[in-house]
Amino acid sequence: MFLCTQNVDPLHERAGSRRVAHMHGRLFQSRCSNPRCPLTPFDDDRLYLDREPLPTCRSCRALVRPHICWFGEVPFELEAIETALIGCDLCLVVGTSGVVYPAAGFVQVARARGARTVYVGPEEPGNAGAFDEIVRGPGSVRLPEVVASILS
C-alpha cells in the first residue's frame, strides 16, 4: 500500500501509517530557504511567533522556512507518487475536492493504467467522471465500509 496525502500534519503517522508521501510537505519540519543549499529538511516543532529571532541555515546562513509546499511551488515526491499510480490496481481517493492539480489528476493516471478507482467523501468531487465508484458520506464512516467490502 502507498499512501499519499495533501495534509501537512503527522496524523497518518500517528495512526500507524508507515509509507506516507506528504506531497505538500510537513508542517513540523523545516528546511533552508535557499533552493541551492544541500541541507535536508529536519524535524522542527518550535513555534515562531515573532520575526526575531528567525533561525538561519547552519550551512549557508539563509533563513529557515517550513518544509511545506506553498501555492505556486512544485509539490514533493511526485516521482514516487507517479510510480505508485502507474503500478497500482486500486486507487482509493478520500475526502478531496478533486479540483486542485496535480493531485486531482492522479486518478486519471491510475485509471489509464487499468486501476479500479474509488472515491469516498462527503461531496461529489470535481473530477467525478474519472472514478469507477463514488461513495458519498464522511470518510470516517464510509471508508471502513469500503475497505471491508474491498477486502471481502
Neighbour order of strands in the sheet with 42-43: 42-43, 25-32, 64-68
The stretch 17-30 carries a mean pLDDT of 95
Residues 81 and 130 in one domain: yes
pLDDT of residue 52: 75
| Pairwise pLDDT comparison (49 vs 6), residue with the higher score | 6
Picking from 15, 40, 68, the residue at the C-terminal end of a domain is: 68
pLDDT of residue 112: 97
Q: How far is CA 20 from the centre of its chain?
A: 8
Residues 33 and 99 in one domain: no
Active site residues: 24
Cell 470518510 -> residue: 139
Domain housing 62: 25-68
Residues 103 and 41 in one domain: no
Domain assignment present for residue 18? The answer is no
Domain assignment present for residue 2? The answer is no
What are the residues whose beta carbons fall under 8 Å from the beta carbon of 30, sequence distance 6 or more? 41, 42, 44, 55, 64, 65, 66, 67
Domain assignment present for residue 132? The answer is yes
67-113 tens-digit pLDDT: 999 989 999 999 999 999 999 999 999 999 999 999 999 999 999 99
Full-model pTM: 0.88
Task: Please give the Cα distance from 31 to 59 (Å, whole number).
Answer: 11
